[in-house]
Amino acid sequence: MPKQPAVYILASKYNGTLYIGVTSNLPQRMVQHREEMVEGFSKKYSIKMLVYFEICEDIRSAIAREKSLKGIMRAKKIALIEAANPDWEDLVMKLELLKP
């Protein structure tokens, strides 16, 4: 499977705790988050709902975008999510990145 760099935002629930990450394989990374295979913040706070993602040209641009998103205030992160996903739907299931 070819690498497809992406930056993503997970949420614990609607307007809940947010996690921003970067990956070269979003479907695989979501399996890791959902199965709690990723140690750290997202596992500790049960943050598993994919509410936003951007596909990037290369991993360097994905990392740069991740850093810029982490540097903005929460209100701007919420606005970004709600502009693309106003109902805070779990995009993994909607886009069928994972099979239930």
- pTM here is 0.91
- Interval 42-79: pLDDT, tens: 999 999 999 999 999 999 999 999 999 999 999 999 99
Question: What is the pLDDT, as a whole number, of residue 93?
Answer: 74
CATH topology of domain 6-94: GIY-YIG endonuclease (3.40.1440)
Give the distance, in angstroms, between the CA of residue 30 and the centroid of all CA atoms in the same chain: 8
Which two tokens mark 86? 């106003």
Whether 15 has a pLDDT exceeding 70, the answer reads yes
Domain boundaries, the chain: 6-94
Tell me the HSE value of 95 on the side-chain side, using a 13 A CA sphere: 14
Non-local CB neighbours of 13 within 8 Å, separated by 6+ positions: 49
Contact status, residue 85 vs residue 93, Cβ threshold 8 Å: no
Non-local CB neighbours of 57 within 8 Å, separated by 6+ positions: 5
